[in-house]
Chains A and B, each alone.
Chain A
């Protein structure tokens, strides 16, 4: 059978085009790569090359024809050993085919068509209120319920540690445990860390595993990703996550998406960590909270701890996790002390929230330094007779929304607290989830206390105004409690 030369699609969206010109005529010999025709699309004029060698047997669509549909046969190519007799056979076969199928090219009709969407937009009352509503479904990271925190055996000693020390211990313990774990970043080695989080690591693990990088976030983040593809387990420290915006392409496009794009072949066991959010008086380019940004991205896990114990247990878990993990710390919290259990191997589950304070009247949900405001507010409210339950999310992706829902089913009210900006914040996601999954339990709209919708100002008074504070949380809880 002669080979049909079809009207080609020359762009991802082309459906038809004009056959502007034939540069060959019937009887011409062609080789692969020879230009045979010119086709005009709405965007450009393109040349069509022969993909096979042979003789142009018959031109089926004359030049100048408009609106030739993609995949329409435009010519017949005779290959070795074929002659005009084969053309006639092809012609009659085509007629047969048209008769029996009603179309010369039934496969063109088999292309997926957009289904009418009206049906799927109708509310499914059955599904509303169930765990996964029809609105937004997140990828299930763990098939089972997130595990509970490991029991701390009775009689375990606790020691007061700063968050800074807890983070260092977590890294040191994991580096002792696994020779593939290494730390790299600006000033992590000889300077002992810009915020002294990596203090002492160079001495113990040598410059082979504790690596000072040039001030080139995009480059060293990408280098870390490559090393992780090769099976190493880099901990990449950003001096602050504000500088990680330079590396955003490598974090999202390379670290987060490659496993999927590779059909599961290319895991990226890497931790990106460093201080995030506002410190004090460092203004707009050094004060942003990236919780909302990173927790938006499938493929990443995102942790933002508050206490030293959580920082330690979760950083150890992050280093062991085979996925890319964003570990958001806070400069102000680095120096704060918390009790940390003295255990040989204290690892906490990623994806599990913690009830930081039990209560029954309203739920306050926060994470990271927001917990400071949440807990202070809860204390103040308790004095006024409002008993708040405070939930520390600890992990933002996968988010333990079930713990929040369970609490809200009890209290009927919810306030979220974070330093980031309001639009598309973590709080707005929680609010939407509660509306879908706990609508009937809510006695008031969910309120979000966030950083103000402005770049962070420098002046002390303005900075204070821009950040959330316990008073705002108290006000919000009173509002949802109709207690004003």
Chain B
């Protein structure tokens, strides 16, 4: 079938175009940072303002950090493109929600987590799993419904877990992962460890009742939880403004006195800085924090969404001017003096990891029929 080949010559020209757009993306980043600052200033008490401002100053990434971010984000993107392709071939069934465009959010946050920290999210979860270190083969094989998938083919795209990597799902019900992530934080506090629970959800879920029930308990009990709202601007086909009475989602914790910050979710460095700040806050016993990541999904809500609710120009503008991966790539080339060939080598490596996962996921057998009847109860 459609075997992906090594990167072609076509790439160079396009990169140049994008590098031209890179400067405008820096400008807009600044604007976003300014915006977040003013939002924070309004939301926060003056005493803490100085400390919180630091979360938004873009931190400088070392070459190693940029390389790591590049690899991880590229892995998510190539993986998702491949998943889209396999879906098109009928090898992945059901619903399939791709993370393309939002890579900087999960990769940036993950860079500031430590062993033992827990992650939960909704059904747009492939990126989170790869970022927590789950195997591309196991994730892809779950997407194709095969026996070596993380859930032995019984969960699918929206329901995957890894105890080993502290990834607690992968939840299909909008908003449902929020109390669960809060409960993981409750367990951390109960055990008096210093782990934090990172609970991702979208702008759509931000209007769910159980989210506010969770905010209340999290603040009441000072639970070490970071609520990362991935505001990709559309809950399925409805824009935030059409669904939300107030659109600055970082302020949704105000009535519980939960500090919240808006972050440029297309800049992995800003995400990392904000996550550093929030994890420190939560670890030191100060309780929950909300990070609203302004991000964008390039694809439809799911594979079957033609995305007619937004213009092509809007999508194209984000892709060419704000793409998270291109930003890092430009830094690798200009700041860290990597050659085009060195970057291509990384691309090639990532492609081969993804192709291997896809190959594996197509050839792995379906679950044994006896799997139908297992894992319903833990044997006492």
Contact = CB atoms under 8 A, between A and B. Distances in A.
Interface of A: 1, 3-6, 8-12, 14, 29-33, 43-49, 51-55, 70-71, 77, 79-81, 111, 139-142, 182, 208, 213-214, 216, 218-232, 249-250, 253-254, 258-267, 269, 298-299, 301, 320-323, 350
A10 B88 contact: yes
A12 B87 CA distance: 9
B158 to A, nearest CB: 9
A266 B375 CA distance: 9
A222 B178 contact: yes
A230 B376 contact: no
Interface string B247-280: 0000000000000000000000000000000000
Given A6-B2, A228-B183, A216 B88 contact: no
Interface in B1-37: 1-11, 14
Contact of B187 (A71, A213, A226, A321): A226
Nearest to B78: A32
Contact of B213 (A77, A220, A253): A220
Contact of A229 (B176, B184, B319): B184
B104 to A, nearest CB: 17
Contacts, number: 244
A253 B216 contact: no
Interface in B346-377: 373-377
A297 B308 CA distance: 39
Q: Bin chain B's interface residue count.
A: 35 or more
A34 to B, nearest CB: 10
Nearest to A47: B306
B2 A52 contact: yes
B154 A263 contact: yes
A262 B169 contact: yes
A151 B181 CA distance: 43
A322 B306 contact: no
B380 A320 contact: yes
B89 A229 contact: no
B154 A261 contact: yes
A254 B380 CA distance: 20
A55 B11 CA distance: 12
Given A229-B168, A260-B375, A223 B220 contact: no
A208 B192 CA distance: 11
B94 interface: yes
A162 B151 CA distance: 45
Contact of A8 (B88, B187, B188, B377): B88
Given A51-B84, A226-B184, A218 B14 contact: no
Contacts of B51: none
A43 B304 contact: yes
Given A53-B7, A216-B216, A249 B176 contact: yes
Given A43-B304, A140-B373, A218-B209, A231 B187 contact: yes
B214 interface: yes
A291 to B, nearest CB: 19
Contacts of A77: 2
A55 B380 CA distance: 59
B377 A3 contact: no
B204 interface: no
B375 A227 contact: no
B235 interface: no
B187 A263 contact: no
Contacts of B8: 53-54, 79-80
A254 B82 CA distance: 29
Given A260-B154, A267-B378, A80 B186 contact: no
Given A51-B88, A141-B377, A323-B380, 19 more contacts: A46-B306, A51-B4, A53-B11, A79-B6, A111-B90, A142-B380, A214-B217, A216-B213, A219-B179, A222-B176, A223-B183, A226-B179, A227-B183, A249-B173, A260-B376, A262-B169, A263-B154, A264-B378, A323-B377
Contact of A51 (B9, B81, B186, B190): B81
A71 B90 contact: yes
B298 A33 contact: yes
A53 B120 CA distance: 34
B190 A182 contact: yes
A3 B6 CA distance: 12
A12 B156 CA distance: 13
